[in-house]
Structures are given as C-alpha cells and as structure tokens.
Amino acid sequence: MQLRKLGNSGLEVSSIGLGCMGMSFGLGPAADKTEMISLMRKAYELGVTFFDTAEVYGPYINEELVGEALEPFKGKVSIATKFGFEMDPNGGPKYIGLNSRPEQIKKVAEASLKRLRVEVIDLFYQHRVDPSVPIEDVAGAVKDLILEGKVKYFGLSEAGAGTIRKAHAVHPVSALQSEYSLWTRTPELEIIPTLEELGIGFVPFSPLGKGFLTGAINDQTQFAANDIRSGLPRFTKEAIEANQSLIDLLSHFAKQKNGSTAQIALAWLLAQKSWIVPIPGTTKTHRLFENLGGATIELSSNELKEIQNAASKIQVHGSRYTEAMEKMTGL
C-alpha cells in the first residue's frame, strides 16, 4: 500500500483508509464485534494505516471498537475521530443537536482518548459546522489541545470554503472530510480549489456512494429500518433505477481494467489529486480486499477524460440527504 501526505501538514497515511462507522452504526444492525476487530487487524496487515471513527457512531461504541482493535498497533496507525454533536444526556442512542463549544471539545477529547486507548488523537475533526459557535473559537480550542499534546492534527468535515479559511487562519487545518465520489461532485466547484490553495488534504467519505457504486444495490434492495439509506432520497427505488447509468459507466471501465466498479470508482478518486485519501467502509473481508485493490488500478489521462466526459452527461437523481440533514452541511 502506497502512502500519501494529507496536504502540507506532515500527516502521512495509507492511500486508502478504512471508514469504521458502518461496523456498529448507521448501516443496519451492528456487525459481530470479534469479526470487526479481525477485519481491522487484517486491514493493517494489508497496509492500511488510516482508520476513521467518531464519538457519535453508536454513540461511543465505535470508538471503543476501534480502540480495542488497533491497540496492538499503537504508534503505527493514524486514527481520526470527531467532535461536534450533543449527545442525549439521558443516554439515548441519538444525538440531540450540535455542540462545538470549546469546553465541550475538550471534554470530548478526553473521553475519546480513553475509548481509543491512546495518549494522543492523530486527527480530530469538527464533525459538522456549529453555527452557534464561531469557527475561530473551535480552531482555538483544538489548537490548545494540540499544544497540550492531546491532539496531533486538526480537521473539518462538510465545511464550506469560507469556514475552512477562517479556521485555517487560527490553526492550520490538516484535512477536510466531506462526501465526494462520482455521484457527489459538489466539492469540485469550490472546496477542492480552496484545499489546494491552502495545502489541506482531502478525505472523501462515502467514496463508493454508501455502497451504490459497488453495483451491489438495485431497485429491489431492502434496507433495514436503522440503515440511514432507508430514508435518503437517493436510495428510493426510482432514484436507484435512474442512477443505474453511472454503474454502467463504471462497469465499462471495470471490464477494460479487469477490476470491479468499486475499484474504478476508487481509482478515479485517487487520480484526482495526490493528496486525496478515500475511506471506504466495509464489514466484509472480501470487500476490504476489493477496495484496497482500487489503489493498484491506474487510469490513463485518456481514460480519465473519457470518464469525465461520460459522467458529465449523467444527471444524478435524488438528494444525498433529507432536507433536515442538509441543514447541518456547510457545502
């Protein structure tokens, strides 16, 4: 597995990371704990050194899972986690709003350090921009944690260009995590140019379109009630059927390159910028092997142009989030 630097920060990680959310949150019933620990350790054996989690995933249980799985590799892997949601004080399973007040950020950091079983958080993202707290205050709080040796690098998630600039002026932002793939290309308009200008790395989440770009989802797919895709406009039967042309495009190149649609989708992302590190998630070992295989596929400039030309003619149907969820997105 080749390594990549996330912008100018000095943070160097495997060219493909592992998103761990779906192992215990958001995409249906939680997977078997023992199997997920084995999966993460297998990922490390295969060269993955970048793992992504958050306190809200569960909440809390995903950080605990990642901490237990990766404890034997302490110092050899980079773990990213996130703050910014207000948890139910009564211990309920859902968050009740946003909270990026400085005192809350520092409280979350202390708790995450314990759950992750580490002395320092490698990359600490603001999970969503909190409109009630100036981003300068957020950056200042993380800067304090960095000076205290509790955090190494500062990140943002789903932040707009203006927010990124304001935060970066207080303390360098090492990475932005936002959704980016062949069916979610909004970051290309303003975000990617901003990141390139400022020397900030980009970590696309849902690089396989929450599973859609694997080609394994069709208009007959049934999602569990606790699978977030069950309520997303882009995963209605009609939208899935309408978006099949994107799978056809990926399948065309998959045949040419003797790969899979998922591998072509990841290879395309990796080819966009040298400081892009996608974090596909999975609960299946064979999918892990498949996803990491995306780093071995090279798309020529002509092939990239062909994909670009074909993709530009495809209109993606369905919003990626519900209206309520979109309100927490800074893009």
Q: Are 232 and 321 in contact (CB under 8 A)?
A: yes
Q: What is the pLDDT of residues 108-123, one digit of tens each?
A: 999 999 999 999 999 9
Question: Tokens 């000095």 map to which residue?
Answer: 10
CATH number, residue 209: 3.20.20.100
Question: Tokens 């049934």 map to which residue?
Answer: 222
* Share above pLDDT 70 across residues of the chain, in percent, rounded to a whole number: 99
Judge whether 92 lies within some domain.
yes
Among 181, 104, 124, smallest CA distance to 9 is for 124
Judge whether 172 lies within some domain.
yes
* Three-state SS letters, the chain: CCEEECECCCCEEECCCEECHHHCCCECCCCCHHHHHHHHHHHHHCCCCEEECCCCCCCCHHHHHHHHHHHHHCCCCEEEEEECEEECCCCCCCEEEECCCHHHHHHHHHHHHHHHCCCCEEEEEECCCCCCCCHHHHHHHHHHHHHCCCEEEEEEECCCHHHHHHHHHHCCEEEEEEECECCECHHHCCHHHHHHHHCEEEEEECCCHHHHHHCCCCCCCCCCCCEHHHHCHHHCHHHHHHCHHHHHHHHHHHHHHCCCHHHHHHHHHHHHCCCECCCCECCCHHHHHHHHHHHHCCCCHHHHHHHHHHHHCCCCCCCCCCHHHHCCCCC
Among 210, 204, 213, smallest CA distance to 179 is for 204
Judge whether 229 lies within some domain.
yes
**Binning pLDDT at 50, 70 and 90, where does residue 88 land?**
confident
Judge whether 135 lies within some domain.
yes
**How far is the C-alpha of 158 from the C-alpha of 321, rounded, in Å?**
13
Q: Is the pLDDT of residue 168 over 70?
A: yes
Q: Is 57 an active-site residue?
A: yes
Structure tokens given for 203: 């970590």
Kindly report the backbone phi and psi dihedral angles of residue 173, in degrees, each rounded to the nearest multiple of 5, phi listed first: -85, 125
Judge whether 162 lies within some domain.
yes
Distant-in-sequence, close-in-space partners of 46: CB < 8 Å, separation ≥ 6: 1, 288, 289, 292
Angstrom distances, CA of residue 37 to CA of 20, 62, 170, 206: 11, 11, 37, 21
Q: In DSSP terms, which residues pair with 52 in a beta bridge?
A: 19, 80
Q: Is the pLDDT of residue 42 over 50?
A: yes
Q: Are 127 and 83 in contact (CB under 8 A)?
A: yes
Judge whether 8 lies within some domain.
yes
**Binning pLDDT at 50, 70 and 90, where does residue 329 land?**
low
Q: Is the pLDDT of residue 94 over 60?
A: yes
37-51, 268-282, 284-298, 312-326: lowest mean pLDDT where?
A: 312-326
**Binning pLDDT at 50, 70 and 90, where does residue 328 land?**
low
For the residues 74-86, what does the mean pLDDT come to?
Answer: 97
Handedness of CA 69, 73, 74, 79 (dihedral sign): negative
**How far is the C-alpha of 306 from the C-alpha of 189, rounded, in Å?**
20
Structure tokens given for 107: 């409280």
Burial of 160 from C-beta contacts in 10 A (0-12 / 13-18 / 19+)? middle
Q: Is the pLDDT of residue 331 over 80?
A: no
For the residues 301-321, what does the mean pLDDT come to?
Answer: 96
Judge whether 226 lies within some domain.
yes
**How far is the C-alpha of 162 from the C-alpha of 179, rounded, in Å?**
18
Residue at 264: amino acid letter: I
For the residues 17-43, what does the mean pLDDT come to?
Answer: 96
Q: Which residue has the higher pLDDT, 95 or 314?
A: 314
Q: Provide the terminal-to-terminal Cα distance of the chain, rounded to the nearest Å.
A: 31
Q: To the nearest whole number, what is the mean pLDDT of the chain? A: 96
Judge whether 206 lies within some domain.
yes
Q: Is the pLDDT of residue 180 over 50?
A: yes
Q: What is the pLDDT of residues 211-236, one digit of tens each?
A: 999 999 999 999 999 999 999 999 99
For the residues 231-250, what does the mean pLDDT come to?
Answer: 96
Q: Which domain covers residue 237, as residue numbers?
A: 3-326
Q: Is the pLDDT of residue 270 over 90?
A: yes
Q: For the chain, how many structural domains are there in total?
A: 1
Q: Is the pLDDT of residue 63 over 90?
A: yes
Q: Are 26 and 225 in contact (CB under 8 A)?
A: no
Given the residues 44, 57, 125, 180, the one annotated as active site: 57
